[in-house]
Structure 1
């Protein structure tokens, strides 16, 4: 009836009734909408804090070599609670501190991120460049040249940069290491602070790239004069010296003595070794203790892990490298340093538990490179090895090339296992670069210690082992790398010193590094398939649900992450 009645209405009446119907129904629709609010979206889960720990010169096998005397809360805790990637390798050459820290935090390689070595030659000018050097800045906290540093030579973003970008710079990032490059490169381009050690003053310093004045908490920490206090202590072994079964005898010809010592033996009298500055703290295991002391102070003062956004603390432990270079991996000094570091890490993790909360933070531990056995140690045990004198090879090669080119210095240097041509002089003389490279390669291949000498620009077609080819390509930065890559035979490294050790080559003792994750979002377990140094930042990016760094070529390690 209503429908038929409506149909009999005049056009004006129909419009009037339709308008009234809309007015009556509109409040009902609005009420219905208000009665069904949108379901809240799930909150983004992230840890309160990420702590990156890089142990300088830590070979992978150190996780297990001294394991029987590690305490429950240090390396063992990471292995028992966390996830260890047992077969992680470095993806490029040379294996050094600057490229290693850059690779871990960018997920990239020197070909892309630009840190071709600790120090490299700018190929266009022939001028040397230190990886963190920046003469446009000034030191803050010191007037020494140690302050003239910044991340400007790093040509890619870091995982710490990406965290800052992802949170609109609300996350805090702090970098800490005795070595400037161990602090600056991990902290990236946008940190809240990066601090390193100044030998002259014994203080933690920074540069005007970051700030014009040290924060109050850094000044207060410096006022405690801990290096002076630590260097009043004599280094005695943690346990009775006759119980160090993983090491050679204390008075070993493979080890280097400290300044003023007649032999490299315990006890090491640091009050006498110290000298006029505080550099001795670097080659003392208490240098790691001192670094973690400062990391705890940063954690408290900057309230890391206390805000609404994930913070990041990047710590590099440098003293292991200094001790390793001087004494080698088979020394009681190296063993004692790792036993002490293990205790320091246990105390640091306990501190994080108390300040941030166990299960609220994620920590990863890796290394920038490993280390070789002392060459003479290998020879004495009938294992192939030895030293290659790159300086003598440079002199000999320049003599040969002078006869061909008329140039007195065709080769600037053979450094980082790369031949740096004198490109400015070669161009001025209009010499044949291809001929110079061919002569150089022929000379190098005849060296008894050399396995391969490869033209960097022709590495893709070189008749060499494929894995080595890839590492050469990854390590070659056209602007900052030499023209020829030298690959030594296993057991050999470049140098003249018969004591201690070094790194930089392609063998597993240099490239096989530890990689352990622990804490928030991390599964317990282990993995033996191939993983890579470049995978670290990709995995942290996945954990945090943020972008990988701009030059990242690594892959996520899915087994690490909780489902």
Structure 2
């Protein structure tokens, strides 16, 4: 192990052979904490897409991380139900859903069957905007603290600002003591909720009053490159690509067929490169308005960029539209980093970029390439399952709901009929396993066991919270998706295409420079950032400090 090499010798070796030493765990940096931690999330970005277009990237967007920073080539989520809320809850808590209780974007209450939204809280409402009953307004359901919570506990004058196109993308990384702002898709504005404050600060009101979203009305999303340069991607206009919102071909005109900006136009900004551009504009306004990174107290800015997820859902990660969006996002990142260098100072901040989950290829595209893939209709599954259960246990709607990655049952009916739950779960598993597209089913007994040998059981156990999740967890076969819509793609499995995400960092005196081949997990981010900020790790963190490349002295 390199840990046995004297520090002065290791530093000298790395000076000559930086790339070779990049994967070696090294002593932590002794640099003082940065003035600003910029934590970035690209929603729905598999690592394979970062590297697939590396030769077409700008000099200082993603390449800032790949060429000048530290990056982990084999970073994964450890939990098996890989969705937006679960991922965003994991990143800065360092905890799997089994501890955060954020098992999915939405689920059913295990006792009542009522729908639960991951950041829903009817005690609060959006400031100046309509608030639906299941809207995301607070971190109440998050049963873990974040790095930002620890920072603000240590020093209440440090600021933690979290921004996203999605409520969950802002609220969950922001934690309990940060301040979250999310995009309002009916107005094109950003807003917080009354959990955080009674009214917006002036800088937010000024940003919204300028109506920056309206500037994209009538603007074209045109491909950045010549057609021949997209040969590695699937062309536009395929039958499995969703043909709504902005259409499924480039160029796409935002607001086409609309007389003026309105709710449909504002909603359609997100599934385009302009959604990221607008979010980053609000991030700049937050830096200015809150004076983030302007003094000796460390601040945190979390920015979750939602557009890539919407685009991959609609068209698939193999599409030319997704390919071009990556290049558009790369341009926006380059501009944002230039702004940060000028405003905060290149030696004063650390930037970290990751994703909440990866993405499966669109099943129809995968099938055309000779792979086993398809879609599973959840309604049909429940119908067949209940028909089979009725044959053994008598009439009744025994299986009541899909909930996150699992299935709930009528526990009261089972008790009334004297049926042991374990018998019901085992029979349900027997009925589900032969169904098309189902790889495995795990019962409550398996989830509560210590078995670590059965494939994917441990990953599903990490995704399962005993007070929240369903007693039966279902894993689809590789390439298969739950859903009845015949277009687009999704995620949510324990397979590498969904778990393998980027962990990229820049701030050489804190994180070093080079590629690290060692396998790491997203839960490792929180304790690693806590160490850089000289904080204790969040209390429920399950991660380890990342094996950074050799930190560089200032």
Contact 2:187–2:263, Cα closer than 8 Å, also in 1: no
Q: CA deviation at 1:466?
A: 4.5
The answer to whether the aligner puts 1:511 opposite 2:511 as a matched pair is no
Cα-Cα RMSD? 2.0
What do the CA deviations read for 1:465-500 (whole angstroms, capped 9, x no partner)? 545121111111112111111122211121122321
What do the CA deviations read for 1:159-200 (whole angstroms, capped 9, x no partner)? 111111122x12100000010000000000001x21001122
Contact 2:452–2:458, Cα closer than 8 Å, also in 1: no
Contact 2:119–2:135, Cα closer than 8 Å, also in 1: no
> Which residue of structure 2 lines up, in the alignment, with residue 372 of structure 1?
360
> Which residue of structure 2 lines up, in the alignment, with residue 46 of structure 1?
33
> Which residue of structure 2 lines up, in the alignment, with residue 526 of structure 1?
515
The answer to whether the aligner puts 1:136 opposite 2:123 as a matched pair is yes
Whole-Å Cα distance in 1 between the matches of residues 388 and 87 of structure 2?
35
Distance of aligned partners of 1:360 and 1:466 in 2 relative to their CA distance in 1, 3 Å threshold: farther
> Which residue of structure 2 lines up, in the alignment, with residue 270 of structure 1?
254
**Which of 255, 259, 263 is the matching residue for 2:241?**
255
Unaligned runs of 5+ in 1: 1-42
> Which residue of structure 2 lines up, in the alignment, with residue 458 of structure 1?
446
* More displaced stretch, 512-521 vs 145-154: 145-154
Calculate the TM-score normalised by the size of structure 1: 0.88
Unaligned runs of 5+ in 2: 1-29
What do the CA deviations read for 1:393-421 (whole angstroms, capped 9, x no partner)? 01111222234444532212234331122
Whole-Å Cα distance in 2 between the matches of residues 148 and 95 of structure 1?
19
Distance of aligned partners of 1:221 and 1:450 in 2 relative to their CA distance in 1, 3 Å threshold: same
* More displaced stretch, 538-547 vs 400-409: 400-409
Whole-Å Cα distance in 2 between the matches of residues 314 and 406 of structure 1?
52
Counterparts of 1:221-300 in structure 2, within 5 Å, are: 221-259=207-245, 261=247, 264-272=248-256, 276-277=263-264, 278-300=266-288
What do the CA deviations read for 1:217-252 (whole angstroms, capped 9, x no partner)? 011101121222213212221223343122112222
Whole-Å Cα distance in 1 between the matches of residues 381 and 120 of structure 2?
28
Q: CA deviation at 1:124?
A: 2.4
Whole-Å Cα distance in 2 between the matches of residues 211 and 382 of structure 1?
54
**Which of 535, 539, 544 is the matching residue for 1:550?**
539
Whole-Å Cα distance in 2 between the matches of residues 352 and 407 of structure 1?
64
> Which residue of structure 1 lines up, in the alignment, with residue 198 of structure 2?
212
Rg: which structure is higher?
1
> Which residue of structure 2 lines up, in the alignment, with residue 33 of structure 1?
none
> Which residue of structure 1 lines up, in the alignment, with residue 8 of structure 2?
none
Contact 2:162–2:171, Cα closer than 8 Å, also in 1: yes
> Which residue of structure 2 lines up, in the alignment, with residue 189 of structure 1?
176
**Which of 320, 336, 345 is the matching residue for 1:348?**
336
Whole-Å Cα distance in 2 between the matches of residues 427 and 465 of structure 1?
33
Contact 2:246–2:254, Cα closer than 8 Å, also in 1: no
Counterparts of 1:417-432 in structure 2, within 5 Å, are: 417-432=405-420
The answer to whether the aligner puts 1:411 opposite 2:399 as a matched pair is yes
**Which of 42, 53, 67 is the matching residue for 1:80?**
67
The answer to whether the aligner puts 1:126 opposite 2:126 as a matched pair is no
Calculate the TM-score normalised by the size of structure 2: 0.89
Q: CA deviation at 1:464?
A: 7.9
Whole-Å Cα distance in 1 between the matches of residues 284 and 245 of structure 2?
32
Q: How many matched pairs?
A: 517
* More displaced stretch, 242-251 vs 108-117: 242-251
Counterparts of 1:100-111 in structure 2, within 5 Å, are: 100-111=87-98
Contact 2:425–2:444, Cα closer than 8 Å, also in 1: no
Counterparts of 1:432-511 in structure 2, within 5 Å, are: 432-459=420-447, 465-466=453-454, 468-511=456-499
Q: CA deviation at 1:98?
A: 0.3
Whole-Å Cα distance in 1 between the matches of residues 490 and 359 of structure 2?
6
> Which residue of structure 2 lines up, in the alignment, with residue 67 of structure 1?
54
The answer to whether the aligner puts 1:339 opposite 2:327 as a matched pair is yes
Whole-Å Cα distance in 2 between the matches of residues 448 and 148 of structure 1?
35
Whole-Å Cα distance in 1 between the matches of residues 77 and 297 of structure 2?
31
Contact 1:92–1:474, Cα closer than 8 Å, also in 2: yes
Whole-Å Cα distance in 2 between the matches of residues 131 and 527 of structure 1?
33
The answer to whether the aligner puts 1:383 opposite 2:371 as a matched pair is yes
Whole-Å Cα distance in 2 between the matches of residues 404 and 294 of structure 1?
58
- Where 1:51 maps in the other structure, the secondary structure is strand
What do the CA deviations read for 1:65-90 (whole angstroms, capped 9, x no partner)? 11111110100111111100110110
> Which residue of structure 1 lines up, in the alignment, with residue 305 of structure 2?
317
Distance of aligned partners of 1:80 and 1:123 in 2 relative to their CA distance in 1, 3 Å threshold: same
Contact 1:164–1:172, Cα closer than 8 Å, also in 2: yes
Contact 1:199–1:279, Cα closer than 8 Å, also in 2: yes
Contact 1:151–1:188, Cα closer than 8 Å, also in 2: yes
